[in-house]
Structure 1
């Protein structure tokens, strides 16, 4: 049982973190470490298994990563081409394609190192694998915990529902992505209104340089045109970023009710990062995600992870730099 002690410790730390505040990326990392340690402990138990079981387990351990990597590369490349076809060649739409090509590049580097038998090339390939492994571990933690976070539904009533804005079509019309947020915000509103305590819905979004009106006004118009009671809408029309969405909406809520509770609505791929920003800005509320087109989700999720990775760049670049330094020393 001692082999399971490290995993149990990290599961305990994860539980404490969740109880303190679900909106922490450290929770995702603690859960990832706990699951990894549990997996290692279970593998250690295989020593007691019959030889046939050990052989099958070894085959799975070897084949599963190889097949999984091949499937992942194919999926990323296919999704990248779909994104280009449907959304255009903007840099944000190329992320899944670039991720797939990057994995292929690392594999190619490993193959070249094995063929050439060059120590510097082998050190470079090993360093690349370790860096990619570290980033992949964090990405897996992010995706796994974001999924768990999305399953949580607060049971208490809230005073406000904040719907975060996004760009407008033609500078004035609500696109499908934003309509999904508004529909989910309306759903949250109506469920509580049915219990006799309707919250105020805040549409949050300022006016971009290529927009004819503030996003919050277009969002409010969208809701009113579909029968939403206008007297229960508050427009926050100054923000340009998610952080400003939350800060300016927080000011509105605190002015109306200092001890407010709220729900923030955005798309599902953006929900966890919005939750991290809500904690950072001091907004007292949970974040709900609305549905997103399946083809759009992978690139958008990679973009959200990249933003979180860069928000902790001192730690992450420090670890990647240390790995790179070790690779240089190994090549000498």
Structure 2
């Protein structure tokens, strides 16, 4: 038990150092997840010393979570997926929670079939699949947990720019509710920065970032600027970045504008809350000195959006992650071949 607590303390130290160096590192999420995991192991190891009845209660609760938790989660994801399709259409990005829920049901059925047969190959296949899902699930929980913490960090007060990321237009011209929430949050952040005492001529600037898609009549940034100005935002405080097509380009092209006018400047980047942590990782990789904050998003949109964000982050570290996944598959093949 003491060993597990010691390991947890080491990972917690790594987490603290990582956050102090740069809050936008995905490694911080992994360190925190490992620290919590080893604390849990230490607590379980010491459960036998707990008062009478506590160990039994913990065991029953654990069995219920392990037995019913996946079924409940799969059901909720499937139901959310159906709702997403009804509200947002059948685009691939809107199917993620539905596919995740159905996939979980499929794995559970496969595990039951494997448990009732004597097929060594099927046993090894299910075991390998469970190990792969365990690794990915651990990273997913780390991602969600740290993204929650990151989204609640205090907004910096010394930023020179507020950068609002684009997200597509309705009918090629109009700002949709999702983007409007970003713009409203960006304006609130801008006004908060402007309220602090600043040197003369050093007022913050709001950058709207988004180029023109193939189905859009004008660049997203132009529609975003029009949305703000029509609601009383000062036109001279808005700068349009109208070349970007991806989050990476949002960061790079906005950085060019900021460095051109105020070299060495800092910024607060505004996106939706489900996208904030991935945008922070992208900003770090692009060399942007910026904190990312999120705007509110409809609850039903969260599961699919969060899965999409995690997949994107997972693939940003594909050498490590795919290497570990291939190693687990290789171990499963070797175990099957050794029979």
**TM-aligned CA deviation for residue 117 of structure 1:** 2.2
CA deviations 1:215-252 (Å, max 9, x no partner) are: 00000000000000000000001111111111111011
Equivalents in 2 of 1:47, 1:8: separation in Å?
22
Could you report, residue by residue, the CA deviation over 1:125-146 in whole angstroms, capped at 9, with x for unpaired residues?
1111111111100000000000
Distance in 2, Cα, partners of 1:34 & 1:202: 39
Distance 1:51 1:318 in 2: 45
Give the aligned partner of residue 10 of structure 2. 9
> Does residue 112 of structure 1 match 2:113?
yes
Question: Which residue number in structure 1 is paired with residue 257 of structure 2?
Answer: 252
Q: Would you say the 8 A contact 2:71–2:105 is kept in 1?
A: no
Q: What corresponds to 1:92 in structure 2?
A: 93
Cα distance, 1:8 vs structure 2: 0.3
CA RMSD of aligned residues (A): 1.1
- Find the partner of 2:207 among 180, 202, 205: 202
Q: Does the residue aligned with 1:288 lie in a helix, a strand or coil?
A: strand
Q: Counterparts of 2:233 and 2:319 in 1: how far apart (Å)?
A: 46
Q: Report the alpha carbon displacement of residue 50 of structure 1 after superposing the two structures with TM.
A: 4.0
1:59 aligns with 2:60: yes
Once structures 1 and 2 are overlaid, which stretch shifts more, 177-186 or 64-73?
64-73
Mapping 1:48-197, distance limit 5 Å: 48-197=49-198
Relative to the length of structure 1, the TM-score reads 0.98
1-structure distance, mates of 2:125, 2:178:
42
Give the count of matched residue pairs: 332
Q: Distance in 2 between matches of 1:302 and 1:280?
A: 21
1:240 equivalent to 2:245? Answer yes
Q: Deviations over 1:260-307 (max 9, x none)?
A: 111000000110000001000000010010011111111011000001
| 1:2 Cα offset (Å) | 3.9
Q: Please list every run of at least 4 consecutive aligned residues from structure 1 whose deviation after the TM superposition is greater than 4 angstroms.
A: none
| TM-score, normalised with respect to structure 2 | 0.96
Cα distance between partner residues in 2 of 1:54 and 1:298: 34
Aligned to 1:291: 296
Provide the secondary structure at the position in 1 that maps to 2:151.
Answer: helix
